[in-house]
Chain A
Amino acid sequence: MPLLEVNNLETRFVTDDGIVEAVNGVSFSVDKGQTLGIVGESGSGKSVTCLTIMGLNPKKNTMSSGEALYNGQNLLTMSPRRLREIRGNDIAMIFQDPMTSLNPVHRIGDQLMEAVLLHQDVTKKQAKARALEMLKAVGIPRAERRIADYPHQFSGGMRQRVMIAMALVNNPDLLIADEPTTALDVTTQAQILSLMTTLQKEFGSAIMIITHDLGVVAEVADDVVVMYAAEVVERAPVDAVFKRPHMPYTWGLLGSLPRLDTDTERLVQIKGQPPSLLNPPAGCRFHPRCPYVMDICRVENPPLRPVSDDPDHLQACHLDEETKDREAQKLIAGTMAEAS
């Protein structure tokens, strides 16, 4: 049984302008010790998917359906009391912006201890010892002194480490990281990513990492979910996504990336803008921007189905596989040929 299994998750927000379909029929699963990467443009529903799983969407004006089974228990229908027991203890979340996700008026030590005291039957002293241990684990220098500092006394990278320490303080089974390195410099990003993978090895946690950086995904993820306009358009092991992508949107994402290892004069660009989720296009949601659009794409939304010779590789596109393999190879060859 996977640690987390999400089935047909739907989230809708009621707004003055109408109903926004923020997540539409998303399914995936994460096993213990595995890392799942979720990629997509802003507004594709990555963050809302995670917030829905964590039960952190505003109650007002939100409608959710489907299942998010954590160890077989549905997080969506669970009592708030039981959910609170799981959240922060078994499932923890690292938020995107380290500058705003820490409480500025509390010492970081107190913020770290809060999670321990809430979930474990320990004394304050023990909780403090645990907080200190975590600060050391995430590589904060002079942790004994810095535990009494306020968030403003830390730099961005250090704050992100504190966020990670806070998320890991109860040894969660599942860590959801929403763009954990987006606000950071590459050097700090490398530190944080290696920290996360080391801690994962040590504690055997599962990680769900949301990012728009395909480089990060290639490096840390075992499986990848590509989201576009609130739907999953491709889901596969990481090598398949990069070596044999089967969805024109994924090609666009890969091609639009300037890379250190290749020379490209012009980047592939995905024309146009992501659609409004208030009124998504009929048929395949990517069709208005897709260079391979066919008549059927305008009418029928392709279901997520496996590639014929690779049952782990799911994709949602009407194009025939022969064309897709050929185009994907062209994309890879076009960039790879000049790499050597």
Chain B
Amino acid sequence: MSETASAPAVSTDGSGGGELLVVEGLKKHFPVTRGIIFQKQVAAVKAVDGVSFTLREGETLGVVGESGCGKSTMARCVMKLLEATEGKVVFDGRDITRLSRAQMRPIRREMMMVFQDPYASLNPRKRVGFIVAEALEVHKLGTEAEIKRRVQELLEVVGLNPEHYNRFPFEFSGGQRQRIGVARALAVNPKLIVCDEPVSALDVSVQAQILNLLKDLQRDFGLTYLFIAHDLNVVRHISDRVLVMYLGKVVEIATRDDLYREPKHPYTGALLSAVPIPDPELGRQRTPVVLEGDVPNPINPPSGCNFHPRCPRFREGHCDVDEPELRSMGGERHLAACHYPLERWPMTADEMRKSTLPEAAS
């Protein structure tokens, strides 16, 4: 549930002052050009194609989807590391979509990012102390001595030895490096931390350490997370609400429990059913809804509902013509974009198919 202790009392319709981040109709299209001298645009990769959501203070919104569905591009647009093609991003009541670099600078303090690959996201030639302190120095937050003290404090907060601020990244293991990444993000006391697959590159035991750390930090500092991952178990563990993306669009968004207990979109169902269960008895009974084929090419997405070529509930003449809007599925907080949402859960692929048949006959 999103109304956790740290979030101020906000009504569920989301009109309170607790909204930290509002994303509306966000689009990011990358042009595909042809020609050497006269480059003309022949198509566009619709990486993010109309994503809207709100994120309240102290909340964690998990974003899941297969690779190539636009999760990371969306995060980069939110962080203004990429310029959005259309739509707007409102951070803490201020539209940041069209701000210049200079105007952005004070806002950058408030939103930080933890990257996926702890081996590539730390400069190998800089000492850990410098890496963590850089943001403090850029924003001129304190004297040299103060900054050093703050860096040591941060290293301690994330569970590293403060004495190690003089070491280089290669002297640390993957999990420790990810802790450095977290310390760097925390340095300027941000409100929002965007985590782009922060545990994907780590072993399960180390993954547990980082997930516990992120939860502890959220409790202690009232942080808000936008948490991107492709591992549904991890997202379920850390999120209050979950957003499912497919081919640049939101297909379902709901509170964690609603989404995992009663998924409405067939794609969410297929994703959930594909997660292996670490229990041999349950695992053997499981019948995953196997999706045919791969994610389609975002240059030329399928007509109508993006998901229709792979959907077990696909109905000709409706799904491939009419694009479903994101609509309420019982409760304002559970939205899904599907003409034939799942009636119950769990369901096998055959049941999914069958339950649309009677309607087809009528």
Contacts and interface: CB of A to CB of B under 8 A. Distances in A.
Q: Are these two chains actual partners, yes or no?
A: yes
Interface string B170-199: 000111100000000000000000000000
Contacts of B284: 219
Contacts of B43: none
Interface in B231-287: 231-234, 236-238, 260, 270-284, 286
A261 B277 contact: yes
Given A41-B203, A187-B270, A252-B205, A258 B237 contact: yes
B312 to A, nearest CB: 13
Given A253-B204, A260-B277, A185 B67 contact: yes
A97 interface: no
B245 to A, nearest CB: 12
Contact of A212 (B203, B208, B209, B230): B203
Nearest to A270: B205
B293 A260 contact: no
B119 to A, nearest CB: 12
Contact of A190 (B174, B209, B274, B282): B274
Contact of B275 (A158, A260, A266): A260
Contact of A260 (B67, B176, B272): B272
Contacts of B283: 215, 218-219
Residue of B173, B231, B260, B276 most packed against chain A (CB within 10 A): B276
Residue of A155, A185, A259 most packed against chain B (CB within 10 A): A185
Which secondary structure dominates where chain B touches chain A? helix
A267 B208 contact: yes
A157 B207 CA distance: 24
Nearest to A336: B279
Interface in B113-128: none
B208 A242 contact: no
A27 interface: no
B204 A187 contact: no
Contacts of B9: none
A267 B208 CA distance: 6
B282 A261 contact: yes
Contacts of B295: 155
A215 B276 contact: yes
Contact of B211 (A213, A252, A258, A261): A258
B288 A42 contact: no
Contacts of B273: 190
B294 interface: yes
Contacts of A252: 205
A17 B260 CA distance: 49
Contacts of B215: 266
Which secondary structure dominates where chain A touches chain B? helix
Given A158-B294, A260-B236, A187 B274 contact: yes
A238 B203 contact: no
B212 interface: yes
B320 interface: no
Contacts of A215: 233, 275-278, 283
Residue of B233, B260, B280, B282 most packed against chain A (CB within 10 A): B280
Interface string B57-68: 000000000110
Contacts of A41: 203-206
A221 B128 CA distance: 42
Contacts of A261: 277, 279, 282
Interface string B285-312: 0101011011100000000000000000
Contact of B234 (A187, A218, A258): A258
B290 A219 contact: no
A179 to B, nearest CB: 12
Contacts of B206: 41, 273
Interface in A146-167: 155-158
B205 A141 contact: no
Contacts of A242: 278-280
Contacts of A239: 280-281
A166 to B, nearest CB: 19
Interface in A231-265: 238-239, 242-243, 252-261, 264
A137 interface: no
A257 B278 CA distance: 9
A273 B286 CA distance: 34
Nearest to B69: A185
B281 A186 contact: no
Given A189-B274, A252-B205, A258-B234, A219 B66 contact: no
Given A42-B174, A194-B288, A215-B283, 10 more contacts: A41-B205, A141-B293, A191-B291, A212-B204, A215-B276, A219-B276, A258-B211, A259-B233, A260-B236, A273-B176
**10 closest A-B pairs by CB:** A215-B276, A258-B237, A256-B208, A267-B208, A190-B274, A219-B283, A270-B205, A186-B274, A185-B66, A190-B288
17 contacts: A41-B203, A41-B206, A42-B174, A157-B294, A186-B271, A188-B294, A215-B275, A215-B283, A218-B279, A218-B280, A219-B277, A239-B281, A254-B278, A257-B233, A258-B208, A258-B211, A270-B205
